[in-house]
């Protein structure tokens, strides 16, 4: 993505140690929305089944959306209702009928306001009280999303369920559903770009008319600010590039053959299930990995174009570049052939938990780098702090404003600071008869998984990922503990002597590709420290409490 790297990376700040607290779509998106760790969102994987993953419309509707960053921007002086039980009781079985009667600034279902009416309402409120933002969301929301327009979004053009680039259903803010992608020119990323530019053009036209007619809401030029979220599914499967990029995709390089690529059998015996059950990759699987890698890069060509065109429109057409912030990141990393696994995420390794992260905007030093740990739970508090000047008290993450606007090099402040965070994931399996046999696919979309695992119940873990700079760390370390289950998916003791019964530990400054599990080399005192950290992190709520373990030396 050369244009994105130039515009946002060279034009702003690059975060070299950006991570997610859960390496899969739905839990990470829940954390991005709310600023909460998975143990506080209670979304642990992509399953919606009761008592399992927590990825359900009901969970988002009755809790998570109430704490979303967009609600704080969309309505002045917004305060969430903390009593979830009361919210569920109020919603009841006919929740769709009463969802829009909670008394906030959204109109009831069926009362459709035009774009200009919404923007005028926010502008008037901004003058009378404090900034209210005109809000836009397009693309993917979460894996099980369907059938309604969440509160706090003025324009909502969002994908039903999971990702497809053609033949997909979009739900709007009025709960109307429409199918797209029946024509070649309705490639999903391009439609997201079109809807985004339409939003900006409408916003610009409203502002021009107000100024021309002298109809400023209360004082000169005070049109409500806007928030745009482009949640492009790319490079998610099915790895289908836009037709205009299909030829270029064929000439892209194969998947990188990293030092841990294709390891299998006895080479992975010191790793947990399903990694230690992975068979060696066949020629056809290697070929499929390369095709998938090229396809993924191909889908990102359209994303690169989209970011460039929106950046150019805000700059050249709206002249608002000096008043606009851009944030670019991902909801998880990815592995392609590492440790003998095909293509997926879900693992507690660097390939899966590391993500790209750029922020550009006024006051941020161009071509700057920050080496401190930055998490997906830091996005919500940063957005609210940028827009409204405060951090919501419920969040577990931290606002990045002190880093972004530091008058000196922000790395100086962390030169001798230890940092750490919790990674937590619950393994998925569908129709699994043996808890040690990994499923072939999480959603039936991976035919190449015929002999390669994607996930397993015993791929349930909590890890401490840390950088102890007081001990000379640069890349840092990761320590993982695992939870085992019986055939009924009830937690049970892990088999004695198994990797799951012990754990995994890697010092990335000595072993950056996490090839050799060094758990057995740890002194008992260090094992006890990590176990205590996991217990403490697993129950922490709010940044005030979570920061006690996130920063500084810890001797538990």
Task: Summarize the confidence of residues 4-30 as an average pLDDT.
Answer: 97
The token pair that represents 366 in the structure block: 């161009």
From residue 411, how far is each of 6, 370, 469 by CA, in Å? 22, 6, 12
Task: Identify the pLDDT of residue 218.
Answer: 42
Domain positions in the chain: 2-100+110-122+234-550
Quick check: 48 pLDDT over 50?
yes
Q: What pLDDT is recorded for position 102?
A: 38
The predicted model gives 319-334 an average pLDDT of: 96
Average pLDDT over residues 299-325: 97
383 pLDDT higher than 60: yes
Of 115-119, 342-346, 439-443, the poorest mean pLDDT is in: 439-443
**Least confidently predicted of 142-146, 295-299, 364-368:** 142-146
For every residue of 440-476, DSSP letters joined together read S-SSS--GGGGGS--B-TT-EEEEEEEE-GGGT-SS-
pLDDT value for 13: 98
The H or E element spanning position 296 is helix 283-312
Task: Give me the pLDDT at residue 158, please.
Answer: 94
pLDDT digits (tens, 9 = 90+) for 247-272: 999 899 999 999 999 999 899 999 99
Please report the pLDDT score of residue 446 as a whole number.
43
State yes or no: is 25 an active-site residue.
Answer: yes
The reported pLDDT for the residue numbered 436 is 37
CATH number for domain 2-100+110-122+234-550, candidates 1.10.3860, 3.30.1490, 3.90.1720, 3.40.720: 3.40.720
Distance CA 479, CA 324 (A): 39
**pLDDT mean over 37-53:** 81
pLDDT tens per residue across span 154-212: 999 999 988 889 999 999 998 889 999 999 999 999 999 999 999 999 999 998 887 55
What would the DSSP string read from start to end of 103-172?
-SSSPPTT-PPPHHHHHHHHHHHHHHTS---EEEEEE---TT--S---TT-SEEEEESSS--SSSEEEE-
Q: Which has the minimum average pLDDT: 275-279, 287-291, 367-371?
A: 275-279
So what's the pLDDT on residue 366?
96
Q: Give kind and range of the element (H or E) at residue 484.
A: strand 477-485
Question: Given this model, what pLDDT does residue 40 score?
Answer: 96
Average pLDDT rounded to a whole number, residues 281-302: 94
| CA torsion angle 427 433 439 442 (round to 10) | -70
Tell me the average pLDDT of the chain: 88
Q: What percent of the chain has pLDDT over 90?
A: 68
More confident residue, 145 or 462: 462
Instruction: Tell me the per-residue pLDDT of 65-109, one tens digit each, with 9 for 90 and over.
Output: 999 999 999 998 898 877 777 766 766 666 555 454 433 444 445
Assess whether pLDDT exceeds 50 at residue 31.
yes
Supply the pLDDT for residue 483. 92
pTM metric for this prediction: 0.92
Name the DSSP class of 228. E
Q: 447-482, pLDDT tens digit by residue? A: 444 445 678 788 899 999 999 999 999 999 999 999
* pLDDT score recorded for residue 105: 42
**Mean pLDDT value across residues 53-64:** 86
**Residue of 25, 26, 540, 546 marked active site:** 25
Q: What pLDDT shows up at residue 215?
A: 52
Give the pLDDT confidence score for residue 146 in this predicted structure. Answer: 84
* 27 in Cβ contact with 41 (< 8 Å): yes
The answer for residues whose C-beta is within 8 angstroms of residue 477's C-beta and 6 or more apart is 465, 466, 467, 468, 505, 506, 507, 508
């Amino acid at each position: 993505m050369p244009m994105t790297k130039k515009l946002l990376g060279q034009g702003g700040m690059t975060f070299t140690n950006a991570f997610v607290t859960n390496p899969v779509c739905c839990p990470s998106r829940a954390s991005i929305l709310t600023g909460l760790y998975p143990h506080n969102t209670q979304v642990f994987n992509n399953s919606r089944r009761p008592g399992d993953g927590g990825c359900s419309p009901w969970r988002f509707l009755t809790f998570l959306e109430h704490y979303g960053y967009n609600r704080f921007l969309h309505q002045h002086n917004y305060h969430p209702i903390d009593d979830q039980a009361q919210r569920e009781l109020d919603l009841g079985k006919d929740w769709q009928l009463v969802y829009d009667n909670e008394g906030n600034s959204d109109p009831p279902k069926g009362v459709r306001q035009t774009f200009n009416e919404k923007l005028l309402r926010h502008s008037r409120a901004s003058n009378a009280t404090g900034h209210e933002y005109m809000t836009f969301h397009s693309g993917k929301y979460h894996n099980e999303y369907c059938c309604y327009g969440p509160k706090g979004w003025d324009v909502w053009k969002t994908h039903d369920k999971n990702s497809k680039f053609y033949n997909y259903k979009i739900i709007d803010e009025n709960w109307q559903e429409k199918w797209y992608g029946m024509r070649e020119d309705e490639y999903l990323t391009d439609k997201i770009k079109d809807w985004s530019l339409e939003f900006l053009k409408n916003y610009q036209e409203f502002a021009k008319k107000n100024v021309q007619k002298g109809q400023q809401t209360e004082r000169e030029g005070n049109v409500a600010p806007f928030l745009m979220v482009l949640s492009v599914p790319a490079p998610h499967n099915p790895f289908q590039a836009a037709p205009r990029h299909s030829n270029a995709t064929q000439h892209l390089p194969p998947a990188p053959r990293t030092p841990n690529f294709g390891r299998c059998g006895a080479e992975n015996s010191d790793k947990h299930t399903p990694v230690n059950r992975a068979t060696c990759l066949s020629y056809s699987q290697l070929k499929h990995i390369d095709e998938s890698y090229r396809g993924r890069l191909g889908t990102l060509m359209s994303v690169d174009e989209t970011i460039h065109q929106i950046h150019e429109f805000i700059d050249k057409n709206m002249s608002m570049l000096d008043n606009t912030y851009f944030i670019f990141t991902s909801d998880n990393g990815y592995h392609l052939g590492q440790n003998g696994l095909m293509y997926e995420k879900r693992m507690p390794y660097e390939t899966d938990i590391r993500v790209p992260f750029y922020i550009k905007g006024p006051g941020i030093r161009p071509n700057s780098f920050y080496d401190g740990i930055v998490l997906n739970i830091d996005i919500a508090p940063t957005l609210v702090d940028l827009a409204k000047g405060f951090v919501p008290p419920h969040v577990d993450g931290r606002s990045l404003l002190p880093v972004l606007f530091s008058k000196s090099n922000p790395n100086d402040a962390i030169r001798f600071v230890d940092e750490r965070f919790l990674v937590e994931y619950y393994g998925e399996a569908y129709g699994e008869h043996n808890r040690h046999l990994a499923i072939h696919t999480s959603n039936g979309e991976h035919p190449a998984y015929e002999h390669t695992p994607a996930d397993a119940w015993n791929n349930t873990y909590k890890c401490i990922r840390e950088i102890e700079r007081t001990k000379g760390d640069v890349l840092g370390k990761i320590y993982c503990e695992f939870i085992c289950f019986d055939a009924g998916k009830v937690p049970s003791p892990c088999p004695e002597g198994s990797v799951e019964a012990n754990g995994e530990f890697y010092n990335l400054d000595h072993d950056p590709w996490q090839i050799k599990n060094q758990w057995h080399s740890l002194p008992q005192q260090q094992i006890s420290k990590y176990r205590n950290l996991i217990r403490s992190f697993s129950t922490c709520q709010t940044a005030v409490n979570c920061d006690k373990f996130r920063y500084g030396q810890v001797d538990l």
